[in-house]
Amino acid sequence: MTVVGEIAGMPASRVAAPASTAEVASCVHDAAREGLALVVRGAGTRQDWALPPQRLDLILEMRGVCGMVEHAAGDLVAIVRAGTPLREVQEALRPAGQQLALDEPIPGATIGGTVATNASGPRRMLYGTVRDLLIGVTVVRADGVVARAGGKVVKNVAGYDLGKLVAGSYGTLGVITECAFRLHPLPGAARYVSARADTADAAGRAVAAVLAAQVVPSALEVDMAAGDGPLTVTALVEGVPAGVERRAADLEKLLGYEAAPADTPPPAWGTYPWAAGDVGIKLTCALSRVPYLLTAVGVTARLHDVALHVRGSAGTGVLYAGLPGDTDPGVVAGVISDLRAATRAGAGHCVVLTAPPPVRARVDVWGHVDGLDLMRRVKDQFDPGGTLAPGRFVGGI
């Protein structure tokens, strides 16, 4: 076999580069007829997430399926092709004073990849996640048939909510080619207010004070560096200039005399706390359990003597943790076991998003997932032949 590409270390012998939904449908139809397993690739920024495919014959390059299909500025709706970089979408919307309220934790990410991994950043606290902003989708099914759901309305018809199904499905249910999004106006001003906290409990008190106040932050982030250093809590407020200044002043009082306001975000704002080749972990918990989870992370790091860096949304209970890629796989397994116990106690989950192959071989990256039987039945309905990204998702889906 001549290798022409790979996904997460799994080689492929063919690459197709369609330029439209019709061409994607033709490629998928031909692959289904030949029994080829395929994986979609946009910019490749998250191809090392999840598990490698169990088999792979064809890589479907989506960068040619790009551009804005429609921007209905009066309706605050845009329809965008999947291969379009998120940054280009924001640039196209800016002249109209509008935005797609999604952050870009990894520069260069495309719309399709962002939806397929359900990736959201700090501002999910105010604007919601990909699933909340997605109001319509065009998907090519495993048999090559084009399916459309939703549209330029903020309501779906009865039956499968196709957009919510494919968001976060890692390409295992269909090939996303177009997405319709609800837009928001660009704010007139933005202000970041940061403060240090010596302990997880102190950070928790600061977060609780902000949540109880009438400041309506767009984001409320916490950053806990590896080791026993202080934590940083940062709140973002957006809106009309006068209102932003007033709310920022309120935040300074809430967060203490050392709170520092700024017009620009702090370093590493909205990025993941790991580098390429490291172990990247997603931690979720109930909002009230964020201080507990931060404390548990610190205890786990000391117990296993590892550099565990945590960053994420204290305002939604979605945090990310990073470990150096050269950490012993057995140690990583112990860390993940302890973090899963902590997230379960906090009514959440712990998922390993990315890791070197030796760690993937040692650790169940997804862990226990409720509703797995139902997810398998959905997979069987959408892809009975198991040709779309086989094995990438939870439970070998």
Residue 101 maps to which CATH number? 3.30.465.10
Structure letter (DSSP) for residue 308: -
pLDDT digits (tens, 9 = 90+) for 50-85: 999 999 999 999 999 999 999 999 999 999 999 999
Ranges 154-158, 207-211, 283-287: which has the least confidence: 154-158
Q: What is the pLDDT of residue 183?
A: 98
- Over range 118-145, report the average pLDDT: 96
User: What 3-state class would DSSP assign to 166?
Assistant: helix
pLDDT digits (tens, 9 = 90+) for 343-380: 999 999 999 999 999 999 999 999 998 899 999 999 99
- Helical spans, DSSP H, in the chain: 21-34, 86-93, 111-116, 124-127, 130-133, 162-166, 200-212, 241-255, 290-304, 329-345, 357-362, 372-382
The reply to whether 111 and 7 lie within a common domain is yes
Q: What is the pLDDT of residue 260?
A: 86
CATH number at residue 196: 3.30.70.260
- Over range 26-54, report the average pLDDT: 95
Measure the CA–CA gap between 89 and 108, rounded to whole angstroms: 11
The reply to whether 17 and 61 lie within a common domain is yes
The count of other CB atoms within 10 Å of the CB of residue 381 is 10
Ranges 102-116, 154-168, 238-252, 302-316: which has the least confidence: 154-168
The reply to whether 167 and 77 lie within a common domain is yes
The reply to whether 219 and 135 lie within a common domain is no
Provide the pLDDT confidence category of residue 382 given band limits of 50, 70 and 90. very high
Instruction: Supply the range of the domain harboring residue 297.
Output: 279-362
In a domain, 344, yes or no: yes
The reply to whether 173 and 35 lie within a common domain is yes
Residue 120's identity, in one-letter code, is S
Measure the CA–CA gap between 212 and 155, rounded to whole angstroms: 31
In a domain, 169, yes or no: yes
Q: C-alpha angle with apex 319: 85 to 256, nearest 5 degrees? A: 110
Q: What is the pLDDT of residue 228?
A: 65
Q: What is the pLDDT of residue 313?
A: 96
The reply to whether 40 and 173 lie within a common domain is yes
Is the pTM of the predicted complex or chain greater than 0.95?
no
pLDDT at 155 over 50: no
Provide the pLDDT confidence category of residue 200 given band limits of 50, 70 and 90. confident
Number of structural domains (the chain) is 3
Q: What is the pLDDT of residue 3?
A: 60
The reply to whether 55 and 10 lie within a common domain is yes
How far lies 129's CA from each of 122, 164, 212, 281, 394, in Å?
10, 11, 22, 18, 20
| 367 torsion bin: left (phi>0), alpha (psi -120 to 50), beta (else) | left
The reply to whether 313 and 217 lie within a common domain is no
Provide the pLDDT confidence category of residue 257 given band limits of 50, 70 and 90. low
Scanning the structure block, which residue is given the tokens 């050392």?
258
Q: What is the pLDDT of residue 156?
A: 43
The reply to whether 146 and 7 lie within a common domain is yes
Q: At what angle do helices 241-255 and 200-212 cross, to 10 degrees?
A: 140
pLDDT digits (tens, 9 = 90+) for 160-184: 589 999 999 999 999 999 999 999 9
Q: Which of 186, 218, 234 is the endpoint of a domain?
A: 186
Q: What is the pLDDT of residue 370?
A: 87
The reply to whether 213 and 85 lie within a common domain is no
The reply to whether 149 and 200 lie within a common domain is no
pLDDT at 238 over 50: yes
Measure the CA–CA gap between 313 and 289, rounded to whole angstroms: 12
Q: What is the pLDDT of residue 150?
A: 82
Share of the chain above pLDDT 70, in %: 96
Provide the pLDDT confidence category of residue 2 given band limits of 50, 70 and 90. low
In a domain, 373, yes or no: no
In a domain, 249, yes or no: yes
